[in-house]
Amino acid sequence: MSASPAVRSGLVLGAGGVLGGAWMAGALHALAERTRWYPRHAEYIVGTSAGSVLAAFGAAGVPPWLLIPEASTNVYHGLIDAGGNLQVHGDLWERIVRRRPLGLPRFLPGSLSLFLAGMRQGNTTLLKMLCGLAPVGVFSTDPIKDTVRWVANDGGWVQHPNTWIVACDYQTGDRVVFGKEGAPEVDVAQAVAASCAIPGYYRPEEIDGRLYVDGALHSMSNLDLLLGLKLDLVVVVSPHSTRQKFRGWDPLNRFTDVTRQVAARQVDAEVEALRAEGTEVLLLEPVAEDLAAIGGNVMDDRRRTQVMRTATRTTLEQLKRADRKAPLALLERPLQVRPPKPAPEPAEPHGTPQLRPAV
């Protein structure tokens, strides 16, 4: 009997704010616990907004458990400080969510050209117009850049050959996919900062004289970037789409739930298009228990540990469902992984996960 052909896989990590990122960390940790499949195993990695942070980490070989506070007893030999000393573990999210205001807010539209572009573009959502009207954000993306450079690459791109980070031009609303052929050359930290630059919250990221903001303005997942690649399997971790009904009429919860419903319809259309090409899709989304942990303010980092714990538990339950058997079976087959780009240093950090006490 001949061996099964190697599986070509992709990973899509969507937008969702600080708590969406925390949820994805827990979900990826659960998936790795269940299958021993890690983000670096994907042939293509697409990251948008908070998902771009995890995309950079995963492409650099960082295991999902390193982002989980309870994993502090694990051993990982990938991170060093400025003095060259080994850093076994640290709360990476604590570094990312540090607030660094750059001044007082200005209550004027941040980009009227983006607003007008949104009105002209027939395929654009209301989100682009609203983001054009939002004032320029006051928080710096420097903590994000500093953390990504420390973890993933100091001044260059990650070694994973197909890591795509999605942002949008702040003037035109056009999608830009950093890391993909034809996109502006930039270091991965700047690309991630641009992808995370939520209009009205973070300052836009300037790259080669142009301003870039959150890639979620185009799509919460940007799953369509993998169309035409004929992959066998795509794992979609989508923290902002949901099948749940509205939880009440609190204005913040109401607005967040509306955007979640829109994101669900968008990701459904993208998943359907991918499946029409014959690609198996494993879609992971928050369930009711996750949404209760996240709440309406996805930037409330005080809840991140609770969200991670909940996501790990609920995702393990999701993976037991009958409709998950086919994609999980593909993850258990040999994977086709393209070799990393040549580099003077090892392509990815190494580490040895160890068993830790139950929490």
Q: What is the pLDDT of residues 269-326, one digit of tens each?
A: 999 999 999 999 999 999 999 999 998 888 888 888 899 999 999 999 999 999 999 9
For residue 209, the model assigns a pLDDT of: 93
Please state the domain extents for the chain: 9-341
Average pLDDT of 75-81? 49
**Predicted TM-score of the model (pTM):** 0.84
Average pLDDT of 327-349? 61
Does residue 150 have a pLDDT over 90?
A: no
- Of residues 188 and 94, more confidently modeled: 188
Confidence of residue 73 (pLDDT cuts 50, 70, 90): very low
For residue 341, the model assigns a pLDDT of: 53
Average pLDDT of 342-354? 38
- Of residues 47 and 248, more confidently modeled: 47
Does residue 84 have a pLDDT over 70?
A: no
Region 9-341: CATH code: 3.40.1090
For residue 246, the model assigns a pLDDT of: 57
- Which residues lie closer than 8 Å to 166 by C-beta, 6 or more apart? 46, 47, 48, 52, 175, 176, 177, 178, 195, 215, 218, 219, 222, 225
Q: Do the Cβ atoms of 97 and 301 come closer than 8 Å?
A: yes
φ/ψ of 268, rounded to 5, equals -60, -45
